[in-house]
Structures are given as C-alpha cells and as structure tokens.
Structure 1
C-alpha cells in the first residue's frame, strides 16, 4: 500500500526512476480499487449496461496521470525514454514488449534518468 501512496504523492512526476516493486504494487492496488469501484457502482445502481458507472469512471480518470507517471518512471529505470510508452500502440507486439520492459530489472547504479532507487532503499 505504501508504494501505491508513493505513486499518488508523485502524482505528475515524470522524472526519476521507479522500481519494479513500486510499479507493480501500484498496478495491483489500482486493480483492487477499480474492482471495488465497479462493485460500488453495481450496489448503488449507478452502473450502466456496459458495467461501468460514475464511481468507476471517476476512479479511472483520477488514476490516469499517476499511471502514466509511474509507467514513465519505470521505463526510466530500465534506461528507456518515457516516450517508449507509445509502443503500446503497435498491435500485440507493443503490449508484449512493454510488459517485458516493465518486468525487467532496472539498471544498477545511476543512469541518464537518475540514481538507482533500489540502492537508495538499501541505504536505510
């Protein structure tokens, strides 16, 4: 949960690096909260025919920029530009390639985008 809150604190920070753990914990808690929002829509009767409702749509809108920001920082950790996010628009191959990059361990030590976040965590 701490990593989810950390990503929200860095709401629109597209600089620096994000470890795999930060990225995937943010993705996990976003998924859990999205399910909870969808359930709340169904319980409150605000869900439409497609299953989405006001609560889930507001949650998705609120998570758009933090999701992009943590994704860009994750790409920075593996030494890629944030513009590499656009690779997702290549059908099938782009999604797989981005998933592989998101699962790849970040470069050790400093890189073009900042210092190693894993080394900073180990310093404590």
Structure 2
C-alpha cells in the first residue's frame, strides 16, 4: 500500500491528531483502529465536553451573583462559547466523516455506511468501526 492510503497501526495520540488534519478531506484509503479512536475521543468527545462545561460554568457563575448585569454577561459569554462550538463542529465535520470512511474501508466495509447517520442510524457506522481490521475485504469500486 502506498503511504498516502495506508493505515497507521498503533498510532499514538499525537500521530492520530496529526493525521486527522493531514488527511482532512481524504475519503480513500484506510484508518487503523487507534487512528480512528484517538481522533474520535479527542475531537468528538473531549473538546465538545470541555466547551459544554465552560458554557454551563459561565451561566452558573452569572446566575449565582443575583445581579442582572452579571446574568446578562453570563448569557452573552455562554452564547459566545456555544457559537465557538458551532464553528468548531463545522470545522471538524469533513475530517470526522473522512476518518470514519477510511476506518470502514479498513475493516472491509463501504464508506457509504456513514450515510445511515442522515436517517438517525448513526450508531450503525460507529459499531462497524469497532470491527477488526480487514483491508483485504474492501473493494475500491464501492467508493
């Protein structure tokens, strides 16, 4: 396999984060389990959780003072955090889909399974990403 499509087995946290943005919109090729799960954990679990906790903390800090100005400031601050989260979600949309498609290719499935998320079945491709690596089963004519 050429290096631009090959998976990176045993990818470290740093390697997975780097490859996540190096292959920003690359839907062909393969992603190892570690590459997928490190990027999933960081970009779709940890960072959104931190932003959500920050928004709630800002709201609670303003609400606890009893001052209308502080409450208005807290509402504005939490609104800015939520706006930041929305921009963040748009930025990671394409690389998140790309790494999931590459992970599905790595275990022999078609990347088209990600479309199940459009009809409320987004858990299905996530479960398929848990299967063992079997790139020999993937046929490129599927993509």
Could you state the TM-score of these two structures normalised by the residue count of structure 2? 0.64
C-alpha deviation, 1:29, in angstroms:
0.6
C-alpha deviation, 1:104, in angstroms:
0.4
More helix by share: 2
Q: Which runs of 4+ in 1 moved over 6 A?
A: none
* 1:35 partnered with 2:66: no
**Distance in structure 2 (CA, Å) of the matches to 1:59 and 1:11:** 14
Alignment match, 1:5: 18
Alignment match, 1:59: 88
Q: Which runs of 5+ in 1 are unaligned?
A: 114-124
Counting matched residue pairs gives: 109
C-alpha deviation, 1:17, in angstroms:
0.3
**Distance in structure 2 (CA, Å) of the matches to 1:21 and 1:47:** 34
Q: Which runs of 5+ in 2 are unaligned?
A: 1-12, 59-73
Distance 1:104 1:11, change over 3 A: same
Paired residue secondary structure (1:11) = coil
Equivalences for residues 40-51 of structure 1 within 5 A: 40-41=54-55, 43=58, 45-48=76-79
Could you state the TM-score of these two structures normalised by the residue count of structure 1? 0.72
Paired residue secondary structure (1:55) = helix
Distance 1:12 1:56, change over 3 A: same
Greater RCO (Cα-Cα under 8 Å, separation 6 or more): 1
Paired residue secondary structure (1:74) = helix
* 1:26 partnered with 2:39: yes
**Distance in structure 2 (CA, Å) of the matches to 1:5 and 1:36:** 21
Alignment match, 1:117: none
Alignment match, 1:14: 27
